[in-house]
Structure 1
Amino acid sequence: MADLTHPDLRDLSVDQDLALRTAAVRLAGEFTGIYGPETIEWFLHTSYEQFATAHTVPNYLPLLAERFTRQRLQALARVEGHHHDGKPVVVFLCTHNAGRSQMALGFFTTLAGDHAVAWSGGSEPGTTINPAAITAMTERGIDITGEYPKPWTDEIVRAADVVITMGCGDACPVFPGTRYENWDVEDPDGLTHEQIRPIRDDLERRIHHLLDQLAIPAR
């Protein structure tokens, strides 16, 4: 990591500053012996900065930043060889990380269980998950309300064994040695949950096929 200069977060409220400091302590405990406080704080502050420009609920931002930082550090630990569990890592990328990639992630994590790791991201992340996509997935018994639109980062994509792209085009990052698949799946943005059902079902079929390719038994 060449530059650990912290972004300017002088406009934080007292509560936000305390929440970030508390998050840094929690993360330091989780990554003891792997990453020091300076690295953790840099990831936490840059994650916060990425969400602060798009989200309008200030009190929720430290939690989003902590969750995203945890994911980024987990990915970095895999890239740098600090984490060896043998599980394949799949990353789903689309434009807004609000519909297609979130539904694919929901199917994959539900069906793969503890046999794999999966993340998602967008080239232009939205602010909320598509409500119609949430409804369509609920019909399959899968709750994706705990997820949130987020960008992808180099360490997340570099940690992947398989990168599935859906509509992000030239914006999708490409790294040598990583397996890429582009899925031609319609963008559900603006559609009703009835209209999204065929997209959902297409994604479910594709996820089952992907699991077969990875030799992961579907639950």
Structure 2
Amino acid sequence: MTDRPSVLFVCVHNAGRSQMAAAYLSQLSGGAVEVRSAGSAPADQVNPSAVQAMAEEGIDIAAEVPKVLTAEAVQESHVVVTMGCGDTCPYFPGKRYEDWVLDDPAGQGLAAVRPIRDEIRRRVETLLRELGVGPIEGGVEPADRADR
């Protein structure tokens, strides 16, 4: 592990919640946090509504590819955040685990994904403060992203 904190976001398909959380953490930490995401049963592609919702925030996740959860990814992370798949995540003593109860954006339209996205951002900002890493100046701001 590196000296900088590392976070692994895990959801079932690694196509929505975990992808949005990883993108926000990468963006808002300015590289101060090592970010991973994975799924217990990865989808073939990232949820198009999640891609669109993040694009509204000025964050492009269209090229991301869902990845399978491995024990190594858990071992290499300081914090493991599960989102609806806690029982399938390997447990290692000494790791910080959080379970974020969030609606699943699978099969949902953009209007339903926006509030999920916004709640993920709020939780990522809290996590950053807890890790002692503040959101970077000039990071994405919660507002309309029509100008981006």
Secondary structure in structure 2 of the residue aligned to 1:181: strand
Between 1:166-175 and 1:116-125, the stretch displaced more is 166-175
2:20 to 103, 106, 109: 103
Separation in structure 2 between the aligned mates of residue 173 and residue 103 of structure 1, nearest angstrom: 22
Deviation by residue 1:35-60 (Cα, 9 ceiling, x = unmatched)? xxxxxxxxxxxxxxxxxxxxxxxxxx
Secondary structure in structure 2 of the residue aligned to 1:115: coil
Matched-pair identity in % = 48
Deviation by residue 1:122-163 (Cα, 9 ceiling, x = unmatched)? 000000000000000000111111211111111111011000
Residue 127 of structure 1 pairs with residue 44 of structure 2? yes
Flag structure 2 segments of 5+ consecutive residues without an equivalent. Answer: 137-148
Q: TM-score normalized by structure 2? A: 0.89
Aligned to 1:217: 134
Separation in structure 1 between the aligned mates of residue 88 and residue 29 of structure 2, nearest angstrom: 28
Flag structure 1 segments of 5+ consecutive residues without an equivalent. Answer: 1-77, 79-83
Deviation by residue 1:75-128 (Cα, 9 ceiling, x = unmatched)? xxx3xxxxx4x1000000000000000000010000011211000000000000
Moved over 4 A (4+): none
Separation in structure 2 between the aligned mates of residue 173 and residue 140 of structure 1, nearest angstrom: 32
Secondary structure in structure 2 of the residue aligned to 1:114: coil
Deviation by residue 1:176-212 (Cα, 9 ceiling, x = unmatched)? 1100000001100000011100000000000000000
- Letter in structure 2 aligned against 1:208: E
- Letter in structure 1 aligned against 2:26: T
Q: Which one has a bigger Cα radius of gyration?
A: 1
2:94 to 163, 168, 177: 177
Residue 159 of structure 1 pairs with residue 87 of structure 2? no
Q: TM-score normalized by structure 1? A: 0.61
2:109 to 180, 192, 208: 192
Whose strand proportion is higher, 1 or 2?
A: 2
Whose helix proportion is higher, 1 or 2?
A: 1
Separation in structure 2 between the aligned mates of residue 108 and residue 146 of structure 1, nearest angstrom: 17
Task: Give the CA RMSD over aligned residues.
Answer: 0.8
- Letter in structure 2 aligned against 1:174: Y
